[in-house]
Amino acid sequence: MIDPAENLAEVQRVLASAAAKAGRADEPITLVAVSKTHNSSRIEPVLAAGQRVFGENRVQEAAGKWSALRACWPDIELHLIGPLQTNKVREAVELFDVIETVDREKLARKLREEMTRQGRELPVYLQVNTGEEPQKAGVLPREVDGFVRLCREDLKLDVRGLMAIPPADEEASLHFALLKKIAQRNDLCVLSMGMSSDFEIAVTFGATHIRVGTAIFGDREHHVMGSDTR
């Protein structure tokens, strides 16, 4: 039996204690509840418990679930945390409130165009491939400064911060520290880093946003969309 509301409360307790240990008890740290693959019946108890910030990694899937949920909970803040194809930008700008995965010029330009067209300026984060993994999305660390400049100065995007997913087989703290260093030298205050397994460490290293899925909603492995198997 998964009790997402109870899990949420536990994650909030762990987060509060990690923040206190890091001397950050007074700083806001935003918990982004990652609801990808889970359907509405599992998300609703978390909404009822007061959680308002959610992360989804697919535009299509998010559109299906969240248009209905938003009708009941209009004050949701929805973050896109997965790769964004340029042909989905229009829908993404309509649906999401924050885009965390801006990682290439073509996408940045398309976002600019679409935000202007819709008259909707969304905060964006730039995704950094701190581990320089070839299969992973994100700007390489050495290219971030130039990309920040392009997004901010040329495209006038509202760049708030950086996001990263450390390599699975490496010490996450090294990647968190690197992300923080890059953010500081670019005057960016948002650091989206830390997931279910490592968000306490991320808080120690200055995360302002943690993205937690499994610890709240349970495993995604045996979960089939459209048939809630609880």
Ligand X SMILES: *Cc1c(COP(=O)(O)O)cnc(C)c1O
Which positions lie near ligand X, rule CB under 6 A? 34, 36, 57, 81-82, 165, 195-197, 211-215
Q: Which residue, 34 or 159, has its beta carbon nearer to ligand X?
A: 34
Q: Which is nearer to ligand X, 11 or 47 (CB)?
A: 11
Of 165 and 183, nearer to ligand X (C-beta) is 165
Residue 148, helix vs strand vs coil? helix
Among residues 19 and 31, whose Cβ is nearest to ligand X?
Answer: 31
Alpha helix (H) residue ranges in the chain: 4-21, 40-48, 59-72, 89-95, 105-118, 144-149, 172-185, 199-204, 214-217
DSSP, res 136: S
Q: Alpha carbon 217 to chain centroid distance?
A: 16
Minimum distance, C-beta of residue 2 to ligand X, in the bound complex (Å): 13
Minimal CA–CA distance to 95: which of 122, 72, 130? 122
Are the CB atoms for 160 and 123 separated by under 8 Å? yes
Residue nearest ligand X (C-beta atom): 213
Query: Rounded CA gap, 181 and 184, in Å?
Result: 5
State which residue, 19 or 34, has the beta carbon closest to ligand X: 34
Q: How far is the CB of 156 from ligand X (least distance, A)?
A: 26
Contact 194, 202 (CB under 8 A): yes
- For the CA atoms of 153, 158, 162, 163, what is the dihedral angle to 10 degrees? -130
| Closest CB 198 distance from ligand X, rounded Å | 9
Smallest gap, in angstroms, from Cβ of residue 154 to ligand X?
A: 27
Shortest distance, CB of residue 226 to ligand X, whole angstroms? 19
